[in-house]
Amino acid sequence: MSTVELNQPVPDFTLPATGEQDISLSDFRGKKNVVIYFYPKDSTPGCTTEGGDFRDHHNAFEKADTVIFGVSRDGIKSHENFKAKQSFPFELLSDKEETVCKLFDVIKLKKMYGKESLGVERSTFLIDKEGVLRQEWRKVKVKGHVEEVLEAAQGL
């Protein structure tokens, strides 16, 4: 499978999600814009802050006819705990097999404490109602990011 490109349709995918369900991108085609944000790990400081920012702006995203999904390689049990603890009003999707992470090309070589490993690069994607990728943010810095994404969603 190739990777996503701006102004091109995003291939459909299905992932297990919180709330004991599977979510497919095609479920929203023709209905809502979709924000997919990829984050490294549940319950870590940056990921908690980012998720909290999406939570705090959730009503504004709803008014912009936009649904939000967080994606990481963590399992559903971890996602359920993270979502409940942080009161996220959106679903978290589990991509243990990294298929969607690879589709969006967010698995990158990272260095921490002198060791290299492959991990999820914090990234966000805005997909319109027709399933076309309209905007992407890579190497995201959390502060102010959600406001940028919201502004873009409001412009669709």
Residues whose CB falls within 8 Å of the CB of residue 10, separated by 6 or more in sequence, listed in order: 4, 25, 103, 125, 127, 131, 132, 133
Q: Which of 15, 35, 36, 47 is catalytic?
A: 47
Q: Determine the Cα–Cα distance for residues 34 and 66; give it in Å rounded to an integer.
A: 5
Q: Determine the Cα–Cα distance for residues 85 and 117; give it in Å rounded to an integer.
A: 28
Strand partners, 133: 127
101 a catalytic residue: no
By annotation, the residues acting in catalysis are 47
